[in-house]
Structure 1
Amino acid sequence: MHFLYSIGLFALAGIIVPLIIHLWNVKQGKILKIGSIALLGESSSASSKSFKINDWLLFVLRCLLLVLLAFVLAHPYLKKIVSARSKNGWILVEKNNFPRVFKTHQKTVDSLLKKGYEIHDFNVGFKPLNLKDTVLDETKQVNTLSYTALFSAANQFVPPGAKVYFFADHHLNRFGNELPAVNYKLNRVPLKQSDTLSNWIATYAGKKYEAKSNPSNTTYQALNSSDEEPIRVAIHENSGTTDRKYLIAALKAIESFTKRKIIINAAAEKASIGFWLSDNPVSTDFRSSIAPDGTLFRYEKGKLVASASFINLEGRQIKLSKRIELDQQAEKIWTDGFGNAILTKNKTNNLNIFHFYSRFIPQWNDLVWDGLFVKALMPIVIQDKKSNDFGFEDHPADQRLVSQNGLIEQNKTEIEAKTIKNEPLENLFWVAAFLIFTGERILSFRKKPNDVKN
């Protein structure tokens, strides 16, 4: 049992009142008739006092009454854990895709409807659908909202713990890198897909790529690679450190993918980008080795903060163990799980400067072990003024599908939704107090002073 206002229990101190009354029991004197009073002198009247409880039942009732009133003032209640699991599940399907779903999965849909499942549009608001919507025109505009964002929004609509059947094509470009945490059990029902092939031309930083996509993968082939200038990179690090090797490995991967030559520490030419991997201030010579309108990527020095967090990159969470505290406002490019800056950017004296508040070593973060390290560096090494980040995965013609095993594994953890319900008890205490008060009054009126007359 819990109390909403525990301060009300101070009223229990009122128990001392019936205790005093019963202990200080003043008895009225008895009148005696005798034959002669001649020998008796005049004396003052006296009363008999007894420090003991003569009527235990009445005393207990009065004490219990005060206890109950104190409990009522404290507003007692019981905490009950009630399962919020919904008996009726949901069927999620895009409204424009519902005719196709019903045609290919009619038996499944009918079976779920008989069990009490509700059909809802997999779109903002999750409006209810019915079988009349199966005659809609399938040529209507297709919903392009992210499935990941809709799964997260559904937490506010789907009853906690309910079973949800999701019918969709499940193209990879509709999902993020990770599914959000959901409070319902998600069952994916993919629609049958034929082996579809598509291709398109993508452009990044003045370079053209031919993309070929099928349900299993998408590949890119660089086209005009012979007419491009190489990328010159300058790297400085303190002696005895290993940051450089992780950076060079990433640069080699970028070179292999883009088919664009990357030259490191070429003394004869100015670099288009310089990496200052040191806590020391950037030297004048190193800064002057970068071409005008080039890029400087530098480590920041400051207060070291042990951070059990992660770096947010492309919807992924990469473990972060240490960071440098930022003491000023800046344009944030990468952040940690608490919104603290990990990478910021500004422009000073025709130089694009990236300020990095961590390090390229595993002791600080897991970035250097993750494939996203290469993709995250891509827009810094090969800058495209028309694009903020690199990658062609969001192209609508991308045919890749989400791995069925991967998605089911993500959703194996079902959150057992439980609601804590407070059940008030003061009404019960009021009833008990009334009954006890009634009994106490009856018992009290029956007790009359004992006048003994002889």
Structure 2
Amino acid sequence: MSFVNPTYLWSLLGLLVPVAIHLWNKSEGKTIKVGSIRLIKESQTSKSSRLQFNELFLLLLRLILVSLICFIMAAPVSISKRSNLEVAYVVEPSLLKLNSIRSLVDSINDDNEVYLLAEDFPDYTEEDTEFNSEKKQLENPQYWQLAQQFSKLHSDSLVVFSKGKVSGIKGKRPEVSQKVNWILIDSTESTSEIIEITSFKDSLELLQFDIVQNLGRFSKQRIAAKDIEGYSIPEHVLRTELDTIRVQFYDDLEIENQVDYLKASFSALGKYLKRPLVFREFEQVSSDEKSIKNRDFLVWLSENEIPDSGTKSLIFKPNIYAENLIEKTTKAGVFQLTDILHRKNILEAHLAEDLLQLIELHPKIESKIAETDTRNIDKSILAPVFKEGSKSSYLAKFDWAPWLWLAFLVVFIIERIVSKLREQ
């Protein structure tokens, strides 16, 4: 046994206090001369002997209580060396909905350790007959993030049953010290779900995410607002409202036709999105102060510093090495126009389509797609990388603190009972 906080063991010196009090009370008192003590001796009974025993027993109990408190503060633990499991099994919780997979896992669970592919790898039990799909961490596991924690399972080899969904792959491929046999269960079915509803003046646009033969695609449908009752709409579907697109221009370069080309491209984009547009000139209040009012975007055709507005902006910054007419900059929400516009590059580079990235039509759509995306990924991409040097044993730690608290409670109850009897 070892202690996490061994310094607290010095508090055991506190045991001397109740012992000293007990001995002090037993010290000889003043001598009083009397004629005879024969009658006093005869008055002693077995009750007085029992009281003396109770005092000693109470002293012992209180010493034990003080000792237990000292050991609890020192946090005792037992560390032992244990061998890793030869093999362990991990199953993605959502697969337990399939009767065939559940029967297979039940048969494995008789002689092997089976865990769920979720945070902290909870143990699988056959009594869990109902799968809780409301828990997001169980329904949509992050495979690579969980693979980095495989060492917690203390196994030399792992067999993982998983759907291998595309939405579970994020970050860098992990390296693990266990040999992992990742078995993909292709349970993908053709699904179709409405994930967003966009409101217009008198109509609704339904954005639908379809999965057919492991391929995902989007489709849109425009319906009258009164016809929404005829569609099956999920409870937590995203709902957005699209307003007029407002674009404000500032041009002191006065390059021929630049503003006209941009306005024409924005107008084409507005017709495609079926949203009205409003163009206005940038309002400069004074030479030191500029105001930007009621706009969604600012087109800044100038060599001057663009005002910090916190909204989407397009600045003119030529770059002969750029691959696109419009590219992102290092500053969030700021894009750059990389060349002077003319008819040829507008058509070849599809300027109107490039301007689409400035408009966040579906700002919250990515998280919703991750919840509904059930496409599978190839096993060779999914599996982590094996790292040499796996250990065949590990150190297991046992915490004694809960048991010491239980012992303290029991001894305390006994001490109270004995103390009550002593008073009687």
Q: TM-score, normalised by structure 2?
A: 0.41
Q: TM-score, normalised by structure 1?
A: 0.39
Larger Rg: 1
- Would you tell me which structure has more strand in proportion to its own residues? 1
